[in-house]
Structure 1
């Protein structure tokens, strides 16, 4: 069976948001899902008014997609606080062509949903049937979660722009953000861009590494 990534998430304290903030959050998620569909072929669905689920056929990109979804919310504000989400990623066998993503079947859907239900304070978590991946990725995700949760608005915006436009220079990204190059460089460095890109690269390699699947016969979709 083919391995897939499944992302399940919900907006934190969505019922406390005013109607304008709720609409902005859903629009930001929808825009990001459309971008990820265009660039990575994901299938995503918003449901229940504050929840979302994404099927990532190339599971090595699951973390990037999850970060983009979370940053799409954290660049918004409700009062003085950023809007945020809990997001659970699972990599496991999954139904490849579900009629609706939110009703998809397979181990990846089950693991992702259960992981989200078990999350309280944590806002980014990982689950997999691979014993090797479970040795280190859940811990890595806790560190990454703490880092993303600590980003201020400018750092989150700078990071979002960089991940969406990796080919652009700092000058071009600064122009899009409406700040000077020096300010943009300060914001993106505050976001820990070099370490974060290394983390994404490591996740991509680990998720697609056959040796991490303990002899299980799995198929991977690759570029």
Structure 2
């Protein structure tokens, strides 16, 4: 089993050219980091869409949350950047160097899932059984929490995940703020529950992919 993460920028055609370029740059930079951190393969296509293949599927949802938070938290654009994201769990029948030349159920599930995902939200799609149905439901709760975050909260969450759940002091140093401020933000974004979801997702899918 692999995971495919597919995403489309929200209202990209209506963005000022500067904001659009900023969004593309963020996606390109994050794609490169995923290639190093998770050994993922990916590309940007159609100008405003991104797709990543995770041979280790447990990393896909962390990447989805990070990418959404990273785009939304930027203060370099006139308005917050949104992205619609779909994770598909399935097989890869044709293994290409890029998603565009690869095929399999994971790609179909991710692509079709993106079409049915509300704008700016995250969804999970699979071809498994009852366990994955429960994981889809948990992901819907996660998405509801993420969608309520402010830009400042999204920035804190991105660093919290990308630093792999650091201490409040470590996170405060990374964000150049106080520990008290970090603790307040983490409590308000439901960081403990988000961490529990990510850890559960990664542990269970790691076993499934062995």
CA contact (8 A) 2:110 2:125 kept: yes
Tell me how far 1:177 sits from its aligned partner: 1.7
Q: Post-superposition shift, 1:65?
A: 1.1
CA distance in 2, matches of 1:36, 1:172: 22
Match of 2:176 in 1: 178
Q: Which residue of the partner structure matches residue 96 of structure 2?
A: 98
Q: Per the alignment, do residues 106 and 154 of structure 1 end up closer, same or farther by CA in structure 2, a change over 3 Å counting? A: same
Please name the residue that 1:158 is paired with.
156
Of residues 174-183 and 17-26 in structure 1, the stretch that sits farther from structure 2 once superposed is 174-183
Aligned to 1:65: 63
CA contact 2:3–2:57 (8 Å) conserved in 1: yes
Q: Where does the alignment leave 5 or more consecutive residues of structure 1 unmatched?
A: 211-219
Q: How many residues in Structure 1 have an aligned counterpart in Structure 2?
A: 209
| Alpha-carbon contact 1:115-1:125 (below 8 Å) kept | yes
- Looking at structure 1, the residues matched to 171 and 117 of structure 2 have their Cα atoms a distance apart, in angstroms, of 34
8 Å Cα contact 1:45-1:53 kept in structure 2: yes
The answer (yes or no) to whether the contact 2:83–2:120 under 8 Å persists in 1 is no
Could you tell me how far apart the structure 1 residues matched to 2:16 and 2:148 are? 24
Indicate if the aligned counterparts of 2:10 and 2:119 stay in contact, CA closer than 8 A.
no
1:6 aligns with one of 4, 21, 24: 4
Unaligned 5+ runs, structure 2: none
User: Alpha-carbon deviation of 1:91?
Assistant: 0.9
What does the per-residue CA deviation read over 1:83-124, in whole Å, with 9 as the maximum and x for residues that have no partner? 111100011111463132123201100111011112234611
CA contact (8 A) 1:8 1:89 kept: yes
- Mapped contact 2:59–2:202 kept (Cα < 8 A): yes
Distance 1:109 1:144, change over 3 A: same
1:169 Cα offset (Å): 3.4
Output the aligned Cα RMSD. Answer: 1.8
